[in-house]
Copies of this chain bind each other. A is one copy, B any other.
C-alpha cells in the first residue's frame, strides 16, 4: 500500500518509510553487484544464482525486485547509459567552436571510463554479437548510438556550414569517429595498464582533423 506512492507518483512530500528505504537499498545492492558481475563476465556467463549469492540474497529475492534476468539487465543498461550519455553529450552542446567541442568530446572519454568503466564495458561488450538478452536491450543500444551519432553529426555539419570543416558527409564522419573511439575505449578498459588512452585519443584527434593525405602543395618535405 505504501509503496504505491512510487508507482502512482503522488505524495513525494512525505519521506519514504524506513522499510521503503531499506527496500531501495537492497535493490541498489543487487544492481551494483549485478553490474560488477555482468561487466566482468558478460550477461550470459552470470547466473541469477551467482548474482544472488554475491549480493548475499536468496535466488528468489531477486524476483521481488526484477521480473526477469533481462529486466535486471535492462534496468542496469538504461541507468548507466543515460548517466554516461549526459556526460559526453554535454561536451557537444557546450561553448566553443566546433573544433573545440569535438576535441573535448574525444578527450572526455578518458574521464567517462575512469568514472563509469564497468558501465561502459557493459554497454559496449554486451551490445554486439548475437548474444543479447533481448530486443529491448538491442533497441536501447541502437537508440543510444543514434543519439550520439546524431549529435556528433550535428556539430560536424555546423562546422562545415561555418567553413571550418571540409564538406564531407557529417553522418559518415560521425560514425567513423564513433567506431574508432569505441575500439580504443574498449582496448583501454580491457587492458588499462598497457594502454595510454590519453595519448591515443590525441592521435585519433589528429587523424580525424588532418586526414591522411597531404594537400598537393606540401608534398615534398618529410
* One of A16-24, A83-91, A109-117, A164-172 contacting the partner: A164-172
Copies in the complex: 2
Query: Residues of B contacting A222 with CB < 8 Å?
Result: 160-161, 163, 167
CB-CB under 8 A for A210 and B42, given A182-B179, A221-B163:
no
Contact with B along A187-216 (1 / 0, CB 8 A): 000000000000010011011111111110
Give the most central of A102, A203, A211: most B CB within 10 Å.
Answer: A211
In the complex, the answer to whether A213 meets B212 with C-beta atoms within 8 Å is no
Q: Taking the complex as formed, is A120 at the interface, i.e. its CB lies under 8 A from any CB of chain B?
A: no
Indicate if the CB atoms of B128 and A213 lie closer than 8 Å: no
Chain B residues lying within 8 Å of A160, measured Cβ to Cβ, are 222
* A interface size (C-beta, 8 A): 52
Choice from B42, B43, B169, B176 contacting A208 with Cβ under 8 Å: B176
Q: Which chain B residues lie closer than 8 Å to A172 at the CB level?
A: 200, 203-204, 207
With A99-B213, A163-B219, A172-B200 already in contact, 8 other A-B pairs whose C-beta atoms are closer than 8 Å:
A45-B131, A161-B222, A163-B222, A165-B214, A166-B211, A172-B204, A179-B179, A208-B211
